[in-house]
Amino acid sequence: MDNEYKIPNHVAIILDGNGRWAKKRGLKRSMGHKAGFDTLKKLSKYIFKKGVKTLSIFAFSTENFKRNKEEVDYLMDLLVGKFREILKQNNNTKILFSGRRTNLRDDVLNALEQMEEETKNNTECVLNVCFNYGGKTDIVDAAKKIAEDYKNNLIDINDLDEEKFGKYLYNSIPDIDLLIRTSGEIRISNFMLFQSAYAEMYFPETLFPDFKEKDFDVALDVYNKRDRRFGGVK
């Protein structure tokens, strides 16, 4: 059975290279994000069709607020105006929003919370949208919630273990099996630090707008060649 082709349960993608994709074509950075969105739409459909149950995407980091206002506004508008297209095509998908709910425009927060509410009973697969997200803040905010529960006598600190800690994160989701970062950058840039503890990592050179279904197939082949031991011996 060990030779069976494995489909990772949880895939996470750092969608990188939109800006360089646009620059290469003499376009504005926002056009790179538009092309990235179109890629994400097709790719998410394909990834779920392949049997992946959870897909996490790094759509906007807390640090991305350092970009100029025009670019930040474009990304916010994209989320409010277009993200539902992804929902419509991926039937029975539950949307989760991972990130700080402060400092976001009202319409952005409403769009994310509405999509979460509307899809909360969906069971086929999960699309975890990391927006205004940072891996360190995810852990720090969890620690604050734990301290609050401790103060109110709701938890016994001696009972706290990795599994229980994980439930205090923005969302309680399984560990990442395959983490992909496009565009050739080899770092995880504060993305899902707790959940990527044993993730297999793959760093293709392709810029995100060019990352198509066939490129995901290559990622799956790479994943299947990895020997996952989780610290043990085989």
Residues of the shown chain interacting with ligand FPP in the complex, contacts defined by CB under 6 A: 15-20, 33, 36-37, 40, 59-60, 64, 75, 78-79, 83, 183, 208
CA 107, CA 79: separation in Å to the nearest integer?
A: 10
Q: Is 64 one of the annotated active-site residues of the chain?
A: yes
CB of 210 to ligand FPP, least distance (A): 12
Q: Which two tokens stand for residue 22?
A: 């646009």
How are strands ordered across the β-sheet holding 93-98? 93-98, 125-133, 54-61, 10-14, 178-181, 200-202
Among the residues of the chain, which ranges form H helices? Answer: 18-24, 29-49, 69-89, 106-119, 135-151, 162-166, 213-225
CA distance 8 to 141: 28
Whether 18 is catalytic: no
| Least distance from ligand FPP to the Cβ atom of residue 161, Å | 34
What three-state secondary structure class fits 93? strand
Do the beta carbons of residue 111 and residue 80 sit within 8 Å?
A: yes
Q: Which of 9, 64, 122, 190 is catalytic?
A: 64
The minimum distance between CB 222 and ligand FPP, in angstroms, equals 21
Nearest Cα to Cα of residue 129 among 150, 109, 147 = 109
Measured from each CB, the residue nearest to ligand FPP is 19
CB of 107 to ligand FPP, least distance (A): 13
Q: Which residues are catalytic?
A: 16, 64
